[in-house]
């Protein structure tokens, strides 16, 4: 039991993100309304973004902006240690992913508007009935 607690404490970030991700997945599977499914998809994306960002974290490190040299006049002979700055790569990947997720969410909402305009509903079971009527 104490082993399990120790495991969770060391990796609690992953546990939280997986729980968040599963909330999003459940919303995508079980909810009937298309907008609620979209919200579930966004929760899922947020969990993945948090997961990536947490991978880049290092204990005792600071932001990935080199300090004390804001003119770019070489490094003043000071050696930059990789352990002093957190990993910039996940931040880069997620920076673009956030904006692209907003843009794709916009497209998904546009599709929902079109569906609503044509069938007057966003509920999945009603949509299925309307589609079978045609």
Partner 1 sequence: MKFLGFVIVCLTGGLLLYGTMDLPDWGDPASPASTHLSDYYIEHILEETRVPNLVTAVLADYRGYDTMFETAVVFCAGLACFLLLRDFRPKKDRYFRHIPTGVMLHVKNPEIRIIPGNEFEHMDREWVPSDRIIKTVCRILIPFIQIYALYVVAHGDFSPGGGFQGGVIFGSSLILMAISYNLKTLMKRVTEKFLSIFAATGVLIYVGLGVLAMIMGGRFLDYGMLAPLVPWDPGHIRALGMLGVEIGVGIAVMAVMVIIYVNIVSEGRHDEGL
Does the protein bind partner 1 through residue 35 (CB under 8 A)?
A: no
User: For residue 51, which of 24, 13, 93 has the smallest C-alpha distance?
Assistant: 13
Q: What is the DSSP string of 16-39?
A: HHHHHHHHHHHHHHH--BHHHHHH
Q: What is the DSSP string of 98-129?
A: HHHHHHHHHHHHHHHHHHHHHHS--BHHHHHH
User: At closest approach, how far in Å is the CB of 54 from partner 1?
Assistant: 7
What character string, x for contact with partner 1 (CB under 8 A) and - otherwise, covers 5-34?
--x--xxxxxx--xx-xx--xx--xx----
Pull the structure tokens for residue 39.
């919200």
CA–CA dist 68, 64 (Å, integer): 13
Q: Among 35, 62, 113, 129, which residue sits at the site for partner 1 (rule: CB under 8 A)?
A: 113
Does the protein bind partner 1 through residue 50 (CB under 8 A)?
A: no
Interface residues with partner 1 (CB under 8 A) are: 7, 10-15, 18-19, 21-22, 25-26, 29-30, 54-61, 63-67, 69-70, 72, 74-75, 80-92, 95-96, 98-100, 102-104, 106-107, 109-111, 113-114, 117
């Amino acid at each position: 039991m104490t082993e399990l607690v120790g495991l969770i404490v060391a990796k609690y970030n992953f546990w939280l993100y997986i729980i968040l991700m599963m909330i999003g997945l459940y919303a995508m599977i079980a909810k009937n309304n298309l907008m609620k499914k979209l919200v579930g998809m966004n929760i899922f994306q947020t969990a993945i973004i948090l997961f990536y960002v947490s991978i880049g974290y290092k204990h005792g490190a600071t932001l990935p902006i080199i300090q004390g040299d804001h003119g770019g006049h070489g490094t003043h002979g000071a050696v930059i240690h990789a352990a002093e700055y957190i990993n910039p790569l996940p931040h880069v990947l997620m920076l673009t992913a956030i904006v692209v997720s907003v843009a794709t969410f916009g497209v998904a909402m546009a599709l929902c508007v079109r569906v609503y305009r044509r069938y007057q509903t966003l509920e999945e079971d009603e949509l299925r009935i309307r589609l079978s009527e045609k």
